[in-house]
Amino acid sequence: MKLIFEKGAPGQHLTLMPPCDVPEVKLSHPRTEPLDLPHVSETELTRHYTALAKRVHGVNDGFYPLGSCTMKYNPKINEDMAALPGFTQIHPLQPEETVQGCLEVFHESEKLLGEITGMDAMTFQPAAGAHGEFTGLLLIKAYHAHRNDAARTKIIVPDSAHGTNPASAVMAGFTVVNIPSSEDGCVDVEALRKAVGPDTAGLMLTNPNTVGIFDKNILEITRIVHDAGGLCYYDGANLNAVMGVVRPGDMGFDVIHLNLHKTFSTPHGGGGPGSGAVGCKEFLRCFLPGPVVTRDESGYHMVSPEHSIGRIKDFYGNFLVVVRALTYVLTLGREGIPEAAKNAVLNANYMMKLLSEKYAMAYAGPCMHEFVMTLTDLHDGTGVSAMDIAKGLLDHGIHPPTMYFPLIVHEALMIEPTETESQETMDEVCKVFLELWDLAHENPQALHDAPTKTPVRRLDEVGAARNPVLRYTKG
């Protein structure tokens, strides 16, 4: 497929700019050569993007069980709300009295998401989950620094954590202490007991963890960390499994981040705007990034908390993602939120059960919102790998599950159906999975050759990672 720069010809054009309605200003260093922009008509531009869109697989195209990413259906009412001119036709530097409605969105979202998580305060500045982790860890760091406790330099991270957890801890200037999981996929409590001490700044727990298990020792885990003087961080990107059912704030956690673009239903996966909202307990409120929204008799105001860690992003974060999240919470309501979580768990267990007919599970069920299969036996017996099965799914219009993650499971496929898939869809998808298993035994070569029906065949992924071509040279 041609790039937009390779299409069109000089003379073809479209005009998208409205007439200038402000005084013109002379630039001190104007460009001396014209910009090298594509010369295409509006028709051609539209066709170009439509062709690109057809090559992409999204939740509106078909099943998308990308574990840990919560690729659920995003209700279109969210988009209607996020497109309202009162939310889009504003400027971030407008005086606060002219954007009271927008500030109310933040204030209401803080209240409702605080209720769902059991937290007292929240910032919406972080632009993604990992960004939220970084922010939350800086709160923990500020807390210890404020108490003049310089010895607390270590963050404990179980090996079943999401990969961003140790990375964020290092970014925030901590040393990571890795602790193993026990047989059942939960934190090894004895290993945790040994790991904590006067140098413990905190623990980061992904819960449900990356193998889809809710840690049964969670209360003991937070107690051990608190007794040692550390704080507890809850990676709540997987809140889809528990929202409205249990609250991290009640389990002893002090800080949490949410992935509004996963659980609270904003389209994601294409690198678009996200929101890694960070919630905390009252005693950490004074460290939150500024500005935060407060309310008094005269209305809503933006203030910087007393000991703020400073800005984490320009302005207030990705505001329209918060509008979508608030819309989602208000449409589902008190009954709908836990119902969505329970259905997410039910769907995952339904698929886990159907697939257990042939596929080996990494951990015995029941699972939470996702489960992990291990294809080592299939690989040893037939030479067909988890990668081959994933590529085989592509020929059936199914997006592959997360592959080779978590690292603690070999030949892993991690499946998260989400609550928005019907039983019929899951039945069909499971049928395909089971047929691929049979095909692996009958004709493994067919799976090594997959995919055959996609716009491109199997790509050299190692080459793409090792020798990436990141610059486009014209001509």
Ligand X SMILES: *Cc1c(COP(=O)(O)O)cnc(C)c1O
CA dihedral angle for residue 229, residue 235, residue 240, residue 243, rounded to 10 degrees: 20
The residue among 67 and 229 lying less far from ligand X, judged by its C-beta, is 67
Helix/strand number for the chain, H first, E second? 14, 12
Question: Which of these ranges, 126-134, 287-295, 366-374, 434-442, lies near ligand X under the rule CB under 6 A?
Answer: 126-134
Judged by CB under 6 A, which of 130, 186, 277, 351 binds ligand X?
130
* Residue 128 touching ligand X (CB under 6 A): yes
Question: Within positions 180 to 219, which residues make up the interface with ligand X, using CB under 6 A?
Answer: 206
* Residue 126 touching ligand X (CB under 6 A): no
* Residue 235 touching ligand X (CB under 6 A): yes
Write down the least CB distance from residue 69 to ligand X, Å: 6
* Residue 313 touching ligand X (CB under 6 A): no
* Residue 274 touching ligand X (CB under 6 A): yes
Write down the least CB distance from residue 172 to ligand X, Å: 14
- The burial of 85, by beta-carbon neighbours within 10 Å (0-12 exposed, 13-18 middle, 19 or more buried), is given as exposed
The residue among 109 and 275 lying less far from ligand X, judged by its C-beta, is 275
Eight-class DSSP state of 360: P
The residue among 90 and 176 lying less far from ligand X, judged by its C-beta, is 176
At 225, the amino acid letter reads V
Number of residues that bind ligand X (CB under 6 A): 13
Which of 118, 160, 70 lies closest to 345 in space, CA to CA? 70
Eight-class DSSP state of 98: G
Write down the least CB distance from residue 230 to ligand X, Å: 20
Position of minimal CB gap to ligand X: 129
* Residue 255 touching ligand X (CB under 6 A): no
- Greatest Cα-to-Cα distance within the chain, rounded to the nearest angstrom: 74
The residue among 230 and 406 lying less far from ligand X, judged by its C-beta, is 406
- The burial of 112, by beta-carbon neighbours within 10 Å (0-12 exposed, 13-18 middle, 19 or more buried), is given as middle
* Residue 259 touching ligand X (CB under 6 A): yes
* Residue 160 touching ligand X (CB under 6 A): no
How would you classify the pairing of strands 200-206 and 154-158?
A: parallel
Residue with tokens 């040393």: 175
Question: Which of these ranges, 31-39, 232-240, 361-369, 371-379, lies near ligand X under the rule CB under 6 A?
Answer: 232-240
Give me the DSSP letters along 332-347.
HHHHHHHHHHHHHHHH
The residue among 130 and 187 lying less far from ligand X, judged by its C-beta, is 130
- Strand partners of residue 463: none
Retrieve residue 72's tokens: 């659920």
Retrieve residue 198's tokens: 């006067």
The residue among 347 and 382 lying less far from ligand X, judged by its C-beta, is 347
The residue among 204 and 292 lying less far from ligand X, judged by its C-beta, is 204
- Strand partners of residue 231: 202
Distance (Å, whole) CA 420 – CA 138: 35
Do 244 and 116 touch, CB atoms closer than 8 A?
Answer: yes
Question: Which of these ranges, 71-79, 190-198, 234-242, 347-355, lies near ligand X under the rule CB under 6 A?
Answer: 234-242
The residue among 200 and 259 lying less far from ligand X, judged by its C-beta, is 259
Under the rule (CB under 6 A), what is the footprint of ligand X?
68, 128-130, 162, 164, 206, 235, 237-238, 259, 274, 276
